[in-house]
A and B are shown apart, each in its own frame.
Chain A
Amino acid sequence: MEFVQYLVNILSLGGIYALLALGLAIVFSIVGLINFAHGELMTIAGYLIVLSLSFGLPLPVVLLVACLGAALSAVLMDRIAFRPMRSASVTTLMITSFGVSTICKVLFQNGVSARGRAVALPEWMSGTLTFGGFQIGMVPLTSIVLTALALIGLDIFLRKTTLGVAMRAASEDFVMVSLLGLRANTVIATSFAISGLLAGIAAILWISQRGSVDPLMGFTPVLKAFIAAIIGGLGSLRGAVLGGFVLGALEVGSEPFLTIGTAPYRDAIVLLAVVLLLLVKPDGLLPAVRGVRS
């Protein structure tokens, strides 16, 4: 029974990491940008949840507002901050995203509040479901279902739609995609929109586990997502998902072996495992398939 509980925890925590890592990987695979402002997209979704709950909107609408708001914010980030820097180097882009991240954090701290805000979740979310002898909390169950739906939906989009196929092509050879007459900026904007959408979903799941929103809430999960993306192989979409679940498994799986003395070192122990893994597989578990040309 305990094993099932661990599995549920791995899937629900790993799922959040997977969604975030996937968002980072999609943008990186196409634009070569490591977006450090990805966490702020989560925070934006969080504040949109607080705001729309305060208007008394029904829950599905609240969640929709959060996801679409995060997607729109991601597109705006690209339009305002990253598009003017399109031909810049990876390092310059990375520093730009640090700037965007910092500006957002300061805006939240001064414009909203530096302190956290409690999010009142609906009654049913604190309940549990009983399956043949073991109980699963509604929160992890929702996480697992939403993560699965998001991953399946994205897979269908990338395989079945022209824009999705163009995005996969762009991750191999971006210039060739525009030589075929496909609008480069549309492909890029879509990749940002999807990464924002995934960050929005991840924010909903993260907040449902935490019950509060604060200006720095995106930092920790997105840091973990970077690690997950690197475990999987930076820029590889399947790798990002796998990396998310591997990191979730490392964190949840290490818990039974931690004592009061070693528990504070959990992250260090997990990172050590990541370092060992990268020593064996320097390009990650499922390395990105990038074209030779830029």
Chain B
Amino acid sequence: MAALTPISRTPVSFYVPVVAAAGAVAGLFVGTAQGSSLIGILIGAILLGAIAFLLTQIIKAEAQGRWALTAVFAVAGFLMGGLAAGIIGLLFGWFFGWFTFWLFEGRYRAYVAPYLTPGQVLWHYTFRVICGAILIFLITPILVVMPLSFNAEDFFTFTPEMLRFDPAGYSLKHYEDFFTNSDWQGALANSVKIAPMATLLSVSFGTLAAIGLSQQHVPFRRAIMAILISPMIVPLIISAAGMYFFYSRIGLQGTYMGVVLAHAALGIPFVIITVTATLVGFDNSLTRAAANMGAGPVTTFFRVQMPLILPGVISGGLFAFITSFDEVVVVLFVGSAGQKTLPWQMFTGLREQISPTILAVATILVIVSIALLTVVELLRRRSERLRGMSPA
């Protein structure tokens, strides 16, 4: 990106206090970890204010100054708390070196429009920091789980060995447990048997319902829609209790079919919503044209309508699959121990025995979900590209 605004150096009275404020925030984290937040804030602010002044007014050479700062912080971190702290120190040193010169040289002004007031520039960057913070807040719990799943001990704890990056602190035994323990393998098998079947049912019924409900002449469209969507809105525990009593009476409670039907009912609203959304852009004259050329309704559906609404069907199916794969409340009611799914096993595992095998499973599931979404996205792009190239 080309620079939008010519830049000039900023006065000491601007950048030193800003770096000091950032230092105070960093000091808050380090100080809290070491026992006193207040002292951390003070030391952080004073130290980094002084460093900013030193770097820009006395050392002046940017590259050397920043390398030296990174090295000093890395060594200081290492002396304070070993290898892990050393790496954190290194990152801190790199960041504050960059941050100091970024402010000092006025580079922060280069890529924003020249007519912005200082307040608008401040907001421009504050906004990005807030977005980043929200992203970190969302993703950290998932990332923390991953290293913990390699714990050599049977607790959800970062052991001192792990923090020292000592290989003895890590092990694959929880993964081994997952792949060899019959409880976990049985639960995995149940999940794999239940989720695709529930998805198949949700997609078939949900798509048909969405197509039917998009016809103008269907009576009570809104009421029917509301009823079909209700499993998504009614609290799950209420659906689950209702299904439990109903399925018990008709002999479906504690059977494979019962769980599949219950999960299908939960998945249908997702399919209806996504397919209805794609149908909004669907041109009904296409079906009339197909009919005009002698195609029956089934042929029209599979050859004309289905390919066009496929993205909605697939993403609805994906949601239905994940709903079934993730679901624990309904299966606890409707299933019996013979239908124990992965989330159920994780739930009881978490309650009865806090075992890092749960984290190993979580890590595997995260990786599988990412792979699944990537594949679907790639397929979608490929089909769009193909459709774009083929004569319409």
A and B part of one assembly: no
